[in-house]
Structure 1
Amino acid sequence: MAENHLHTTQPMTHQMVKAVTAATAGGSFLVLSSLTLAGTVIALAIATPLFVIFSPVLVPALLTTALIVTGFVTSGGFGVAAVTVLSWIYRYVTGRHPPAADQLDSAGMRLAIKAREMTDRAAQLTGAAAS
């Protein structure tokens, strides 16, 4: 309701200025959009014959470039992961308490308890089978 009150209290010239500004901005963006589309169509019309002529060279070159870039990015990612893991292990071993160390410790304790239970159970079963 307060919003309606604001619209009715604004002078008519203020609303006209807003409308003219919006129309000008919209028209400018429409012109820029159409110029961009026209430029893209013209560039594509000029470049298409060149792409057809040079495609035996361009396609393998693009594939090779894509494979090289993919290899470098993957190698870098694995390198960062390795450094992160080695840093975490170093902090864990030196006692600096890295993130999730508590979870690793509790999981290790649970695993050790289960292994001990399995060993005891196996000893009971083999002892029962031997007698």
Structure 2
Amino acid sequence: MADRDRDRDRLHPHQIQVHPHQQPHRYDGGAKALLPRNGPSTGQVLAIITLLPIGGSLLGLAGITLVGSLIGLAVATPLFVIFSPILVPAAILIAGAVAAFLTSGAFGLTGLSSLSWVFNSFRQATGQEPFDYAKRRVQEGTMYVGEKTKQVGETIKSKAQEGEGGAGVHATTGAGAGGRT
């Protein structure tokens, strides 16, 4: 028989022989092919045993909540219709109050962030803390006012000496007080 197959291959080498018992592999497993061959592990079995009652009880609670909500809506609908002249303005008032509160908070946060931005930009522009800058400016202003006071005092002293001949001038001048820093 093998000799006959060889002779046939020699006569027609361009033909492909297909044997019926060598069919292409196809999917025959169904859902069983998706499951592991060994079976589920102990951890998987415990997880299923644990999660089934929890999931079932949560599903039951969801159903009870839905039924309670529907009953509450059926009872409350006539009350909403009867009291709508009161409830609608009250709802508008409450919505306005909430909007005002949120707007106030937004404006407050915007103001604080603006002040923070100005503070940081001022610090970056001067290269130092604004309070140190302000302190230095106050000290410079104090020194300037002290020098001006001393100059004015000396001017008054010189004019007083010229006009009165110098009597009693020392007690009225403030030349020493303004010169300190």
TM-score under structure 1 length normalisation: 0.58
Identify the residue that residue 93 of structure 2 maps to in structure 1. Answer: 64
Matched, 1:29 2:74: no
Identity %: 44
Deviations 1:9-68 (A, max 9, x none): 677765543322222122111111111111111111111111111111111110111112
* 1:1-131 → structure 2 map (5 Å cutoff): 15-95=44-124
More helix by share: 1
Deviation at 1:87? Answer: 2.2
Q: Which structure is higher in RCO with an 8 Å CA cutoff and minimum separation 6?
A: 2
Quick one: distance in 1 between partners of 2:98 and 2:121? 34
Deviations 1:47-106 (A, max 9, x none): 111111111111111011111211221121012111211222123224478xxxxxxxxx
5+ residue gaps, structure 2: 1-35, 127-181
> In terms of Rg, which structure is larger?
2
Over 3 Å counting, the alpha-carbon distance change for 1:11 and 1:41 in structure 2 is closer
For residue 92 of structure 1, give the secondary structure of its aligned residue in structure 2: helix
Over 3 Å counting, the alpha-carbon distance change for 1:13 and 1:83 in structure 2 is closer
Question: What one-letter code is carried by the residue in structure 2 that aligns with 1:55?
Answer: S
TM-score under structure 2 length normalisation: 0.43
Identify the residue that residue 109 of structure 1 maps to in structure 2. Answer: none
Over 3 Å counting, the alpha-carbon distance change for 1:8 and 1:63 in structure 2 is same
